[in-house]
Amino acid sequence: MRIFFDENKKELKAVTCNKCKKELKVENGILKEGCFGADVLFGYFSNKDGSRHSFDLCEGCYDEMIEGFAIPVNEEEVTELL
């Protein structure tokens, strides 16, 4: 869950893991911890009919989630971050 200072959602104030409620480290509007941010729009062919879901998971909860996958996540090394 993300909280912003402004209505345009540009200046990040806080990020809390939706699963365990851990407060992630945010400094000067920049998230300084590993975080899985999900934002999905379920269309007309889903059972949620146009509903948008968004949530954030801390790195620990993300790791727990992907441990349950039958097919592991694709993983590749990225050298240029940000």
Q: Which of 54, 53, 57 is nearest to 22 (CA)?
A: 57
- Smallest separation (angstroms) from Zn ion to the CB of 19: 5
Q: Is 22 near Zn ion (CB under 5 A)? A: yes
Q: Is 31 near Zn ion (CB under 5 A)? A: no
Q: Which stretch binds Zn ion (CB under 5 A): 3-11, 16-24, 30-38, 66-74?
A: 16-24
| 3: amino acid identity, one letter | I
* Cα–Cα distance, 9 to 47 (Å, whole number): 28
Which residues form the interface with Zn ion (CB under 5 A)?
17, 19-20, 22, 58, 61
